[in-house]
Amino acid sequence: MIFEYFYLVFIAAIGVIQAAVAHNGLRGISFFNRKIYAYFFMLISLGPVITAFFTWNERNLTGVIEGSEQFYLFMLAIVSAIGFTIVLSSFLNHSRLRNNNIVCEGLEALKDVTFFQALRYKIIKRK
């Protein structure tokens, strides 16, 4: 039950992150080069998760995850989903995005570079 909760939140989080980054043009952390693919990805990841949560009590008749446990599981799933997104998007976009001039800070910078490229440029700039 705990594992089920974890992976449902994990999948849903990856789906909504992809839709949000695509909508806001953050190409550096997107898995896809077209927005429409990201929206479709969100639909196919979020749809089953909503269905699974909706029918939770039909599968787990007395299935309750206690409040604090739910909080930790949720945070763990979200952090894992963000980590997974950063690693996979950096890998997928490594050769596509090669901008040597980062003018912005924060998430805005990820419109032109991947997360790891941004960190690397920051370290090089410091030296």
Partner 1 sequence: MITIDENIFLWINGLAGNVAFFDWLLKGIANDYLVIVGSCLVLLVLWIWGIDTRQRDRNQKAVISASLSLGLSQGFVSTLNAFYFRPRPFTELPTNLLFYQPTDSSFPSNSVAIVFAITFAIFLANRRIGGFLFILAFLHAFSRVYVGVHYPFDVLAGAAGGILIAFIATKTINVLEKWLDLVMVLARKLYIA
User: Taking the complex as a whole, how short is the minimal distance between the CB of residue 21 and partner 1, in angstroms?
Assistant: 6
- Element holding 119 (H helix, E strand): helix 115-126
| 32 lies in the site for partner 1, by CB under 8 A | no
User: Could you tell me which of 117, 124, 111 has the C-alpha nearest to residue 22?
Assistant: 111
Cα separation, 20 vs 95, whole angstroms: 23
| Residue partners of 5: CB distance under 8 A and separation at least 6 | 65, 70, 73, 77
| Piece of the chain touching partner 1 by CB under 8 A; list 31-39, 57-65, 89-97 | 57-65
Q: Which of residues 61-90 bind partner 1 (CB under 8 A)?
A: 61-65, 67-68, 70-71, 74, 78
Q: Say whether residue 20 binds partner 1 (CB under 8 A).
A: yes
Q: Residues near 33 by Cβ (< 8 Å), separated by ≥ 6?
A: 27, 96
Residue numbers of the site for partner 1 (CB under 8 A)?
5, 8-9, 12-13, 16-17, 19-21, 23-24, 26, 50, 53-57, 61-65, 67-68, 70-71, 74, 78, 104-110, 115, 118-119, 122
